[in-house]
Structure formats: C-alpha cells, structure tokens
Amino acid sequence: MAPLTGDPVAPTDRPRVEDAVHSPEDIAARLRLPPPTQEQAEVVTAPLTPRLVLAGAGSGKTATMADRVVWLVANGLVRPDEILGVTFTRKAAGELAERINGRVDALLRSGLEIPGFDGEPEDLGRASVSTYHSYAGALVRDHGLRIGVEPEARLLGGADAHRLMGAVVRSHPVVADTLGVAPSRLITQALRLAGDMAEHLVTADEVRGFLARLAEQGSALPLPPRAKTPSKEIQEFLTGLADRALMADLVARYDEVKREQDVMDFGDLLRHAARIAVEVPAAGEQERARFPVVLLDEFQDTSHAQMRIFAGLFGPRGPEDDAPGLGHCVTAVGDPHQSIYGFRGASAGQLFAFPHAFPRLETGPGGAPRRVNADVSHLTIAWRNEEAILAVANAVAAPLNAHAAAAGGAPVEVRTLRPRPGAGEGVVRVDRFVTAEEEAADVVARLGALTGAGPGGTTPSRAVLCRTRAQFGPVLDALDAAGLPYEVLGLSGLLALPEVAEVLAVLHVLADPTRSDQLVRLLTGPRWRIGVADLEVLQERARFVSRLRARRAAGGREDPAGDAPDPARDVSPEEDADAAALLEALDSLPGEGTDWVGSRGRGFSPEGLARLRAVNAELRRLSTRTGEDPADLIAEVIRETGLDVEVALRPGVSAAAARRHLNAFQDAARDFGAGTTATDLTAFLAWTESVLEHEDGLGVENAEPTPGLVQVLTAHASKGLEWDVVAVPGLQEGTFPSTRADRWTSPRAGALPWPLRGDRASLPQWDGSWAQDQRDWVQSAGTGYSSKAAQEGNPDPYAVAVAAHAEREERRLAYVAYTRARSALWLSTSLFKGVNKEPLPASAFLEEVAGLAGEVPGVALGPVPAEDDLPEANPVAGRTLVARWPFDPLDGPEAFVADPEDPEDEERWQPLPRRSRARRHGVETAAAAVHAADPAALGDDPELARQVDWVLLRRRDVAGTGGETALPEHVSVSLYGELAADPQAVAEQLRRPLPRPPAHAARRGTAFHAWLEERFGATGMLDIDSAEDAADLWVDEALDLGPMQEWFRSSRWAERTPAFVEAPVETTVGGITLRGRVDAIYRSGGDPRLPFDPEADWELVDWKTGAVPRGRDLELKSLQLAVYRLAWSRLHGIPLERIGASFVYVAHGQERSFPDLPGEEELERHIMDALARR
C-alpha cells in the first residue's frame, strides 16, 4: 500500500476502493454522527472516477461531501491535502472547509487506524477549499506567463471596472447618441456584455462578425409582397443588430485599455484560466497530480468558461483511451431545479453536460475498454422541509423533469425529493385577495402573530419573498403600519428604503450639481419641509442667478446690488434644465438683510430662507469630503444629517436593528471600493443605478435569519437561505411567473447573442433560414411583428420555445422560493395589483398548489371572497388621492381619498390608514422631560429614558459641542473596554491615529495566530496556494513561539476542532456599531445537521500571547468577550446562556473564563455612562 507521507503518488499506485476497511457507518459511529442513508453511503464509497451527484434542496450535500472526504482519508485512499473543493461564495467555501477539516480532525482524535499512515496528524495536511474565481486567479498566477499574460496584473474591483468603462463610454459619445441611451445605463450594458463574452469565451470580432452575417442574411431576402421599401419593423430589427455591434466596439476598446494599463477584471480571470486549461498541458498535469480528488459544488450555477477550466484540467485531453485526465476523480454536485442565475451566465445545461464532459473507462464486450459517461448518483431526502411543503415543491418542479437531458441526448433522471424520517406535517396555506394592499396587510398580521409563539417564547424566523423588488412597497408599508421590525436583504431593495434613499440623494447632489431632482427630494423631505411657495421662489432665484452668470460671461455689466429682480420673461423647460440648477441658487441665496424678491414680486419666507441656508451650509461642509472613499463619505453624511439619530428612535425597534439598513449600505460601498486604486463617487453612484436595473436581485452573501426581524428579499436572493415561516405574495400571471422572455433578439442591446453562448445547446435557437421574405425573417426572431400566419393563430416556433424556456426559469425560481420554508409556507395572490384596471389571473404556481388541498395533509385554502363580492374593476384604480404637504414628520404623511369631481372639497375626504405609526406623543414626552431637566418626568419607561439620553448624547457628538471629538459610528470590538473607560481618548486616537513603533509583542501575537489558523485550516479555506514559507522556522525561533505551541499541543484545546475560525461578528451597542473577529468558536451538542442549533452549547475563545491582566484591567477587557457573546447570539438566534467565552493566555498556560458576562442592557449602560462622563 502506498505511504501517505511524502510526495503525492499517481492514482494508479493508490489503494483501491474495494480494499476499504472502514465503512461509512463505522466512521459515523466513531464520530458520533447520524449514520448515512443508503444514498449518502453510495456517494461516500463511490469509486475514484468522475461522478455527478444530483442533490435536491436541503438534501445534505455539504455533509455528504465532507463524509466522502473523511471516508477516503480513513481508508488511506487519499490525504486531505490532495483534495480540492470549489464552490461559489466565500461563505460557502468557509463552511465546506470547516466541515471537511473539522471531521478529519475528529477522525484523527478518535484513534482510528488509517492504513498506511503512521505519522503525526499535521503530516496529513488540510483540504484546499476555494471559490471558483479564487481558483481561476491562482491558475493565472501560476501559469499566466505561458499564455503571455502578466500574472501580477492588478485585478480590477467593481469601482475600477465602472470607472474604466465610463472613460471608454465618454471617449465614444457618438455611441451613446446613436443608441439613445444615457451614459450611466450604457456603462452597465457594456459591462454586462463584456462579462457575458468572457463567461462564454467569445471575442468582440466574433460578435461583430456574427451580427454582420446575420444582417446580410436578412437584407438579402426579398421584400414582402406588395411592399416597396423595408417596413419600420424590419428597419428597427436591422438597427438593433447594428447597435449590438457598437456595443461590441465598446467592449473591444475596454479590453484594449485594460491591456494598456496592465489590469484585468473577473471576466479576464476566467478567460485566461480557460485558455491555460486548454492550451497548457503542463498545467493540467500539475493540478491532477496535486489534487487526485476534486469536488465541484453548486455546479448548476457554473458558466461555460468555468466548465472549460475544469474539463480542460481534469477531463480527458483527447479521444484516446489512455488520454491524460480520462477518468480523473471529479465529483460535481448540484441541483438542476435550483439553476436560477441564467441572467448572469449560469445554465442548468452545464449540469447535464457533465457526464459527457467527464467520461470514464469501463470494460466493454470482449474485454475491450470503452468510454462511457460519468456515473450519476442522487440525494433525495429533504432534511429541511416538512411534508406538506415538500409535496407542493415537488408538484411545482414536476414539469421540469421532462426537460432534463444530457448533451448528446442521453437522459439524466432527476428524482423527486422525499421527506426525512419523522418529518412533521407542516403547513401550506393558499390565500386570495382583492388588492395587493389587502394581501400585504393580511400576511403581515399573521407574521406579527408569530412573535413569541415559538418554543420557550422565541419567535420563529420569518421571511417574505417577492418575485421583484417592485413588490416590496405594499409589504414594507404594511410592516411599518403594524410596527413590525423588518430587514430588507439585497442591495437592490436596500436602495429604495427611505433612509438609504435620503443618503443617496445627498450623494447625488454632492456629485452632480445639476441633479435638482435629488435636491428637491431633500428640500421637501420630512427633515427640511420646504413649502411650495419657497420652492417656487428658489426656482425664480435659480433663473436669476443663471441669467446673471450669462451676462458676466458675455462681458455685460452686473447689477451693483447683485440682488435686483430681472424683468419677467418666459423661460423654457429646456433652458431651466440647462442653466438654472437649483443647487446654484441655493449656494447664492440673498445675503443677510437683503430683501430680495423675484420677477413675480415674491420673496422667501423668513423660516424658509433660514432652512435653505442651513441646507446649503450642510452641503458645503459635506462637499469638502467628496474625495474620500464612498463608505467614509456615507458615514459622514449619516452623522451630519442626523439619520443615525432618526432611525435609532423608531418605535419598537432596537438601535442595532434600526441602523441595520444604513450599515448594510455602508458595507456595500466598502465592498464596491475594495481593491480600487482611487475613490470615485460618480462611479459608485453609477454602480448603484446599475444595481437597481437588476430587478431580480442577486444572492446575499453572509446573510442569516435574524431573530425578531421579518426579512424581505427577492426570490433570487433567497437561494441558500432558510426560515421557519416563508410567505410568497404576488403569485399572479405576469408577476410570478414573469412574462418577460429574455431573448437576445429583443431590442435591449446588452445581451450576447444566444448562438454564440457556450451553452447554446440548452437554449432555444432562432433559425430564420426558412424565411421567404424579410417579414417572415423578422417574425421568426420572435420580435412581435405580426404576420398573417401569427394573426391566424400560428405563432412562431422560436417565440414559443423562448416562452417555454422562460416559464421553466420561473418554475425553478418558484421551487427555490418554496423550499426555503421549514415549517410553514404561505402562498397568496391578489386580483388586482397597483392600479391595474383588469383583474389578473392567479399564477399557475399557486393554482397547482391549491389543487393539492384535500389531497395532501397540511395544504389548506384560506377564505375565498364570494364571487358576488368580487369587483369588476380595480377599486384602487381611478381613485383620486390627496395629501396634506408638507406633512408633520412626527405624525407621518396622511393621505385621503377625494371626490374625483371635486378633489378640493375636504369635507368629503376619506382618510386612508397611515403607513407608519405616529411618534409625536413619545417625542413630546421626551422633549418635556429634557426641558424640565427632571428624570422623573419620564415616569417608569426605561426605553423612553434611553431614547432621551441617546438623542442628547448623539446630538452633542453631531454638533461637536464642548470642543470634544465626535465618536465614530463603527469601532473595533477590541476597543470596547477602552471606550467604556475613556471614550474621549478613543475618539481622539481614531480621529488622529498616531503611528506606533513595531512591537515585538504584536509580531509575536500575529505569528502565533497565523500558526493556529494554519493548524485549524483557516488559511486553506479561501486560498489554494499552500506553499510553505521558507522563513517560517526562523520566525518561530525569533519570536519564541515554541513554548506557546508546545503548551497548546498539550492543552485541552488541541483535542478539539473549532466550528469557526476568525469568525466575523458585528453588533450595535449604545448606538455604536462594533465589529471584530472571534479567534475560535467551539460547539458541543445539538443537532449536527443544524449549523446554528440553539440547543447546542458554544464557547468563544480569544487567544492571547501577552501578560495576564488583573483587577480592573481584566474586567474591562472581559467586556470584549461580552460583546462577542452578544453579537453571536444576535447573529444566529442562540440564547445567551448557551454561549460561554474565555481568554486563553498561551504564553502563561492560563485560562480566564467569565460565567457572568454582562448582557445587552448592561453593555448599553456601560456606554451610556461613559458618554455621560465626557
């Protein structure tokens, strides 16, 4: 048997699977894990050959992949460091690495004898787990020079890519004019096309050549009978092809600029990696030798380029029976029903093409070897869903199975999910309403009723999943009206929230003085409440300033006073837009004591003028910060405008929950700027506009159900998440499923033609070769041009195929949405949506579920409005709505239904329910207590007292009174103890950080933490480059790590594997957001299938290499652990009493545990007391 130490050996020299001595059941028993099912055991013990594993939603694929690795290691078939795992997100990579390496560590601690291995546990190494993009990046770094690519070329982040494409677009103004597209939108479309071309390995020349040949084909056809010139429809279609060629020109120039600047984007990374995989045989030889076992996760979401990378490296390099790579052990895991990212290059067809792309050899008739497709295994037990939920998900997915076929026509069976043993009945409810507003109110009322309804008074996790973010409005209004705390996940929905939209408006005004629309939003908002009369005067002032500027430019004589009115004259809207920007008028308000009046004899009101001056002063202060990173500028806008105070005082919502959306927006800005070479507010704002165009939304990295909050997000963004209760409203035809058929022949110029896509075999293809004339040719493209054949009920086959393809995409999305629910799934529809006049039929995805009521236990129909009670027309459409404006920000907007014949007759106004709860009573009570300076006036309401203290302290920070330095909104958790002791010193240090000399102790701590991370496998989670540093031994000796390492190996911690290493946490205490990383988190007990089981016990550990503090110093430092504990509890819904925390002082071999760490209220009191002392 080959030894498991030393260099990797060739697969042919390895022990055989048939010689395995440890069964999966024995290993599970030794590790105290549930025994594998028969399906799981088949995957775990499969031969070392290519295999496709079709794993349904919630079927335990991650656990099965980890068990596969453990079984291979336990039987001496492979070392951990010979295993490569690849998945899509950093979060998923981390979870897979922790699961694999944690179970391998547990296996080694169990004392199991591994055939052929007699070394130390460290000799086995760690499994390498990476994201698809990280692996491609490593490949380019290692082999880029072989294809003429500089491996050290800088990788563009999102900010730099937008900036670079923006420069290209601005240098080609004729393109924007020709396409009739705004530059910001053109940047987005061009970047999308560039990404698609990279994902499908297509060049600009190929795109332009294809479009030219297509245009020639259509132009060569005769005109329709009796037509003398090409019709408008034909001309528009040919123009569309030319527009796409112009877009390809932009992409070609973008590629040239990247080469000139020696940079590349993520698309280039995939393109170069695919070239290496195909053109550099040595790269494949090296990777196959390094990784005899490869696991490819979420394979249904891969693109054509990613398939080429792994097929080129680990698939056969030729048709011969002895071709290198033939039969290499590659396992792809995925679910075709969850392939929902087609709009960004993914395709379910990739999954079905895997068996053909990764064949193996078997002995054929007569003993001769022959190639056969890779084997297919199935995981069909759903461990997440109760029975009723699973039944409706299967019903919705059933039509998809008929379309599952592999390349070459060989069928791939997709099996139906089955309930787990002991699964509960579950609840599926189908409801119908008249309007979307009624639907949202009912859903929210039922979600609210679940508060505290879980075991031990807990609240089950809850989510509302919408097909598009346009459906968020009624849901969020209902949540506001009910006072139910919520969280919007996904950036596209986040940008529409009031507090985020307010920040965006300020940013737009700072970046572009001509954005009067955004300035008006600020001026008329609840903060400034500038009235109509003052707005009209401001517009007159803008025209006056514009004309004055024009006279100066022309050398004309200025009016001595500078404030005299001009004669009235008509001004066109175009002139207003070009010359009379409101911001210029705001910056040129009449001076003190000047009684300025406009051309119509009106001047500013005293109060209006004072507010306008305050707005201008604020914008001037902020304008000095526009060169900063967008995330830092956002923080300054929030502080300057007092939005943090505003959101922190929302009734019934904690400060942490209230700031969540602003924090998420700052995080998005920080991610956007990651890796960028320069800040660019304009690029960031262009990016936010492009995000808003992604109506579907993308997945949300690192999102988890938040206890106590209702989470609202799109169905696309929900993939990979799960909740106890899920509501899916808006199930109407046209909404969900959407009727938008995303075909490349549509007028939008940003899509790559489908015939050029790498997965074209799985897509409908337009074939216009049968067309007899230009009319038939255009109609065959499915453009909607109505020929006589179409009018007679014979629609074009391509249009039908595209519609069927789009319906399957929507059906997969419904399957994903339905399978997010563990215990309860609420589906609903409304007859009318918005102001639609015609009633909307219910979605097929709802009707199919409704048909199961009475057949499947747990599926029930809610009350159905009587036929006679259903209105023929939308009761909302045609209504005349009026509102008083400006409204009182404390009471919120108040709207009424007015008589359409006489909308100004207030006596006939009928009030509508308020969208938000009034706060006047609470604020007035607080104000009275402040003015009286009598705490007793607050009564016995501690929450009100907290709000009063918070407003006063934060207002003092914002105003900068007392000469004190304002505290930032975000600080490190490690500073919490210092913050509680001396907040002013912390604020000064953060404002003007002093350079500190390199400290031996700091280097020592960093080196020890790095050693621990390597031991735990954290460094291998995201980076496959595991080459050892030759200076490591020298560093160990110089920093005296040996004694600490020796103590650790003999301690109880050496026998345990942390569930998480360097786990990021964030929480808000006393209005200050604290961020940090927990060195190690250990878990014991609970259900191993639940990643964050509230019944498990958790221990948070912070490794310390310095001296052991005493007394007050130790007490203050323990507050850091208290914050970690609170953050972990909030983040994952784990009771505080289940979480312990310790400092481990490895240099002294001592531990310090704190059984009585303070909770939320005491931590907030520490901060409030400290701030009060400033």
Report DSSP letters for 394-411, one per residue: HHHHGGGGGG-B-GGG-B
Confidence of residue 911 (pLDDT cuts 50, 70, 90): confident
* Segment 647-664 mean pLDDT: 71
- pLDDT surpasses 60 at 964: no
User: How high is the pLDDT of residue 114?
Assistant: 87
Q: Which CATH superfamily is domain 26-133+291-379 in?
A: P-loop containing nucleotide triphosphate hydrolases (3.40.50.300)
Burial 32-64 (b: 16+ CB within 10 A, else e): ebeebbebbbbbbbbebbbbbbbbbbbbbbbbb
Identify which of 477, 497, 465 has the alpha carbon closest to the alpha carbon of residue 661: 497
| Digit-coded pLDDT (tens) for 62-79 | 999 999 999 999 999 999
pLDDT winner (highest mean) among 471-485, 687-701, 984-998: 471-485
The C-alpha atoms of residue 981 and residue 708 are separated, in whole angstroms, by 31
Confidence of residue 823 (pLDDT cuts 50, 70, 90): very high
User: How high is the pLDDT of residue 874?
Assistant: 80
pLDDT winner (highest mean) among 67-76, 163-172, 532-541, 1143-1152: 67-76
Look up the pTM and report it: 0.76
| CA geometry: angle 210, 211, 217, nearest 5 deg | 90
CA distances 949 to 42, 630, 645, 1166, Å, are 62, 30, 11, 13
Confidence of residue 1011 (pLDDT cuts 50, 70, 90): confident
Which residues, at least 6 apart from 350, have a Cβ–Cβ distance to it below 8 Å? 299, 300, 302, 303, 304, 307, 759
User: How high is the pLDDT of residue 819?
Assistant: 97
* Segment 433-440 mean pLDDT: 93
Which segment of 9-13, 341-345, 1170-1174 scores lowest on mean pLDDT? 9-13
| Digit-coded pLDDT (tens) for 699-751 | 555 567 777 889 999 999 899 899 999 999 999 999 999 877 667 877 665 68
pLDDT more than 90, % of the chain = 32
Residue 317 DSSP one-character state: S
Confidence of residue 108 (pLDDT cuts 50, 70, 90): confident
User: How high is the pLDDT of residue 578?
Assistant: 39
Which residues, at least 6 apart from 1144, have a Cβ–Cβ distance to it below 8 Å? 1051, 1053, 1101, 1102, 1103, 1104, 1150, 1151
R_g of the chain computed on alpha carbons:
32
* Segment 300-307 mean pLDDT: 93
- pLDDT surpasses 70 at 127: yes
The C-alpha atoms of residue 56 and residue 35 are separated, in whole angstroms, by 19
Residue 1135 CA, distance from chain mean position: 27
The C-alpha atoms of residue 931 and residue 747 are separated, in whole angstroms, by 63
User: How high is the pLDDT of residue 181?
Assistant: 75
Which tokens in the block code for residue 552? 């100066």
- pLDDT surpasses 60 at 1028: no
Confidence of residue 551 (pLDDT cuts 50, 70, 90): confident
pLDDT winner (highest mean) among 3-7, 54-58, 452-456, 1101-1105: 54-58
What residue type is assigned to position 398 of the chain?
Answer: A
What residue type is assigned to position 530 of the chain?
Answer: I
The CATH class of 427-493+693-739+812-866 is alpha beta
User: How high is the pLDDT of residue 1044?
Assistant: 82
Which segment of 22-36, 223-237, 829-843, 1024-1038 scores lowest on mean pLDDT? 1024-1038
The C-alpha atoms of residue 247 and residue 189 are separated, in whole angstroms, by 8
| Digit-coded pLDDT (tens) for 158-207 | 778 888 898 898 888 777 777 777 777 788 889 989 999 999 999 999 99
Which residues, at least 6 apart from 948, have a Cβ–Cβ distance to it below 8 Å? 926, 929, 930, 938
User: How high is the pLDDT of residue 1012?
Assistant: 75
Phi, psi for 53 (deg, rounded to 5): -110, 115
User: How high is the pLDDT of residue 960?
Assistant: 46
* Segment 484-492 mean pLDDT: 84
Confidence of residue 997 (pLDDT cuts 50, 70, 90): very low
- pLDDT surpasses 70 at 126: yes
- pLDDT surpasses 50 at 998: no
User: How high is the pLDDT of residue 1037?
Assistant: 42
Q: State the chain's maximal CA–CA distance in angstroms.
A: 107
Which segment of 344-353, 826-835, 920-929, 1004-1013 scores lowest on mean pLDDT? 920-929
pLDDT more than 70, % of the chain = 78
User: How high is the pLDDT of residue 632?
Assistant: 86
- pLDDT surpasses 60 at 142: yes
Answer with the residue of higher pLDDT: 828 or 677.
828
* Segment 801-824 mean pLDDT: 93
User: How high is the pLDDT of residue 359?
Assistant: 95
- Strand, helix or coil for residue 841: coil
User: How high is the pLDDT of residue 565?
Assistant: 42
pLDDT winner (highest mean) among 273-277, 959-963, 1141-1145, 1155-1159: 273-277
* Segment 886-911 mean pLDDT: 75
User: How high is the pLDDT of residue 680?
Assistant: 74
Confidence of residue 936 (pLDDT cuts 50, 70, 90): low
pLDDT winner (highest mean) among 423-437, 515-529, 929-943, 982-996: 423-437
The C-alpha atoms of residue 165 and residue 257 are separated, in whole angstroms, by 9
* Segment 641-666 mean pLDDT: 74
- pLDDT surpasses 60 at 131: yes
pLDDT winner (highest mean) among 422-426, 1004-1008, 1074-1078: 422-426
| Digit-coded pLDDT (tens) for 379-388 | 999 999 999 9
Identify which of 953, 931, 925, 956 has the alpha carbon closest to the alpha carbon of residue 651: 925
The C-alpha atoms of residue 724 and residue 704 are separated, in whole angstroms, by 12
Confidence of residue 845 (pLDDT cuts 50, 70, 90): very high
Residue with tokens 């961020």: 1075
Q: How does the average pLDDT of the chain come out, rounded?
A: 80
Confidence of residue 949 (pLDDT cuts 50, 70, 90): low
Confidence of residue 916 (pLDDT cuts 50, 70, 90): low
CA end-to-end distance (rounded Å), the chain: 71
- pLDDT surpasses 90 at 139: yes
Confidence of residue 395 (pLDDT cuts 50, 70, 90): very high
Identify which of 158, 164, 185 has the alpha carbon closest to the alpha carbon of residue 693: 185
User: How high is the pLDDT of residue 1034?
Assistant: 33
Percent helix, strand, coil in the chain (nearest 5)?
50, 15, 35
- pLDDT surpasses 80 at 968: no
Is 1000-1172 in the same CATH topology as 427-493+693-739+812-866?
Answer: no
pLDDT winner (highest mean) among 306-310, 641-645, 1020-1024: 306-310
User: How high is the pLDDT of residue 3?
Assistant: 41
Identify which of 915, 917, 943, 948 has the alpha carbon closest to the alpha carbon of residue 931: 948
Which CATH number, 1.20.140, 1.10.486, 3.30.750, 1.10.3470, labels domain 501-647+685-692? 1.10.486
Task: Provide the residue ranges of all domains of the chain, joining segments of one domain with +.
Answer: 26-133+291-379, 159-264, 427-493+693-739+812-866, 501-647+685-692, 754-804, 880-911, 920-967+975-991, 1000-1172
Fold classification of 1000-1172 (topology level): Lambda Exonuclease; Chain A (3.90.320)
- pLDDT surpasses 50 at 1036: no
Contact 274, 312 (CB under 8 A): yes
Burial 934-944 (b: 16+ CB within 10 A, else e): eeebbeeeeeb
